[in-house]
Amino acid sequence: MKPIPIEYWKAIVENDASYDDTFFYGVKTTGIFCRPSCKSRVPNIKNVRIFKNAKLAQSENFRPCKRCKPNGLSLPDEEWIQQIIEWVNQHYQDQLTLENLAEISHGSPYHLQRTFKRIKGMSPLEYIQQVRISHAIHYLVNSDKSVTEIGMAVGLMNSAYFVTLFKKKTNCTPTEYRKKHGSKGGNYS
C-alpha cells in the first residue's frame, strides 16, 4: 500500500475543507470513510486509506460517515445501528460510553441515542448492560471464576456495581444465580 502524502495527512489532522473535493479517507478499523474536513477523532495513520472519490471507497466496502456525509451519502439508520450493535457485541468488555460509541461510529451522541432507541426500543447503555449480563450469566454457569473476575471480564470493574446491576436485571445476585443454575466448572475463557 502506498504511503499517505504528507499534505493529505495534514489535511485530515487539521480538518481542512479545502481538500474535500480532492480525496476521501477510509479508516480500516471502523470501515468508515470521510471527507478531510470531518470533525471526527484523528485516526491512526496506519489504518488510513486514501480514495479519489466516494464510489471507490464504497467499492472497497467502506461506509459513508454519518457525521460528514461524504459526497452527500448517508448510511441508512438501521444499518448504522446494526454496525454499532456488532461493535458492542465484540467490545462489551471495554469502557463504553455514549460519547465514545458516537465517536467510533462518526455520529453525535444525541443522534445515536435517539436513533438507537427508535430502532432497538432501548438506549445504547441498556443494550450494553444486556450484553454484559448475558455474558456474565454464561461465565457463572460455565466457569469457576469468582464474581469479581466475572464482573471484570464483562467490563464492569466495580464489583459492587456489577452485583447491583446483575440483581436489577435478573432479580438475584450473581452468587444466587450460580447456586440456582449450578456452575458446570469447565474451562470457559
Distant-in-sequence, close-in-space partners of 146: CB < 8 Å, separation ≥ 6: none
Active-site residue, from 34, 38, 65, 68: 34
Angle at CA of residue 78, ends 104 and 102, nearest 5°: 20
Question: Do the Cβ atoms of 80 and 64 come closer than 8 Å?
Answer: no
- Return the biggest CA–CA distance within the chain: 63
Question: How far apart are alpha carbons 133 and 154 in whole angstroms?
Answer: 8
DSSP state of 1: -
65 is an active site residue: no
- Residues annotated as catalytic (active site), given as ranges: 34
